[in-house]
């Protein structure tokens, strides 16, 4: 495994953030509605992790360092983990574990349905984020994992439906996502690759 220490560092950093939020919640530092804050933070955290995982390949192409892609899987799995915590917090804090009418909610509320679809997509990706699945699926693995692009769009839609009067934060994420998705267009990809190669060659010289 390449870069074991950096991977461990990333793991500890990503794991400590929700622990820190929980700690803030227990000392009443999240305000009078800590459950809502946790639900929102975990949701945003999942989106940030997802965008980070999507940034690894373009960074690999763009910069002289070829190590970026080694962190892609972990970032993707963290996105899934945050998303699962986000849903659990929603069920506990916002529904009070009262599931009467929850199926109706799923059908009636487009943003909950969108979130559920995104979570199902992420689960499929998380379940196949291992060497065994990659070997077994072969070429189809790459095809399957391209589902991440529509997932990002669905997640952004999910968030847009939730924000009310101020869409500033959402616009920031949407811009980042747009840049990352553009970076995957074949023509842009070739240009990035050319630049990265040039830098790598220079750094070898």
Partner 1 sequence: MLIKIPRRSDCRESEVTPEALYLNRRQTLQLTAISVACAGFPLMAHAQEWRYEGVDAADAPAWFDAKGDKARWEAVVAKGEAITPYRDATHYNNFYEFGPDKGDPAAHAPKLVTEPWTVMVDGEVANPGTYSVEDLFAAPRLEERIYRLRCVEAWSMVIPWLGFPLAELIRRLEPTSNAKFVRFETLARPEQMPGMRAGFSLIGWPYIEGLRMDEAMHPLSLMTVGMYGRVLPNQNGAPLRLIVPWKYGFKSIKSIVRISFVREQPATTWQTMAPQEYGFYANVNPDVSHPRWSQARERRLPGSLFSPNVRATLAFNGYADEVSSLYAGMDLSKDY
Binding residues for partner 1 (CB under 8 A):
22, 25-26, 28, 31-36, 38, 92-96, 98, 101, 105, 108-109, 111, 161-162, 164-168, 171
**Residue (59 or 112) nearer to partner 1, CB:** 112
Least distance in angstroms from the C-beta of 82 to partner 1: 17
CA 111 – CA 100 distance, rounded (Å): 19
- We find the least distance from the C-beta atom of residue 116 to partner 1, in angstroms, to be 14
**Which one-letter DSSP state was computed for residue 27?**
T
Question: In the complex with partner 1, which residue's Cβ is closer, 22 or 185?
Answer: 22
Tracing tokens 């189809």 back to the chain, one arrives at 140
Nearer to partner 1, 31 or 150 (CB): 31
In a 10 Å sphere around its CB, with 0-12 CB exposed, 13-18 middle and 19+ buried, how is residue 53 labelled? buried
φ, ψ for residue 163, nearest 5 deg: -70, 145
Closest distance of CB 163 from partner 1, Å: 8
Tell me whether residue 34 or residue 76 sits nearer to partner 1 (CB atom): 34
Cβ distance to partner 1 smaller for residue 91 or 144: 91
Nearer to partner 1, 144 or 157 (CB): 157
Distances (CA, A) of 5 to 12, 57, 60, 71: 10, 20, 19, 12
Q: How far is the CB of 32 from partner 1 (least distance, A)?
A: 4
Q: Are 183 and 59 in contact (CB under 8 A)?
A: no
What's the closest the beta carbon of residue 167 comes to partner 1, in angstroms? Answer: 5
Burial status of residue 29 (CB atoms within 10 A of its CB: 0-12, 13-18, 19 or more): exposed
**Cα 136 versus chain centre, distance:** 25
Ramachandran category for residue 185: left, alpha or beta (phi over 0 → left; psi -120 to 50 → alpha): beta
Give me the least distance between CB of 181 and partner 1, in Å please: 22
């Amino acid at each position: 495994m390449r870069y074991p220490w950096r991977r461990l560092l990333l793991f500890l950093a990503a794991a400590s953030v929700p622990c820190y939020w929980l700690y803030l919640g227990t000392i009443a530092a999240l305000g009078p509605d800590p459950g809502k804050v946790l639900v929102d933070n975990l949701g945003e955290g999942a989106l940030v992790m997802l965008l980070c995982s999507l940034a690894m390949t373009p960074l690999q192409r763009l910069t002289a360092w070829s190590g970026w892609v080694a962190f892609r899987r972990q970032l993707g799995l963290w996105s899934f983990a945050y998303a699962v915590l986000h849903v659990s917090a929603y069920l506990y804090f916002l529904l009070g574990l009262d599931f009467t009418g929850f199926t109706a909610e799923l059908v009636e509320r487009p943003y909950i349905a969108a979130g559920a679809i995104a979570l199902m997509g992420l689960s499929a990706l998380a379940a196949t984020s291992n060497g065994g699945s990659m070997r077994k699926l072969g070429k189809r693995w790459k095809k399957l994992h391209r589902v991440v692009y529509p997932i990002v769009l669905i997640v952004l839609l999910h968030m847009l439906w939730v924000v009310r009067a101020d869409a500033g934060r959402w616009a920031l994420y949407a811009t980042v996502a747009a840049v990352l998705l553009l970076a995957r267009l074949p023509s842009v990809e070739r240009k990035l690759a050319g630049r990265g190669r040039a830098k790598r060659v220079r750094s070898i010289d």
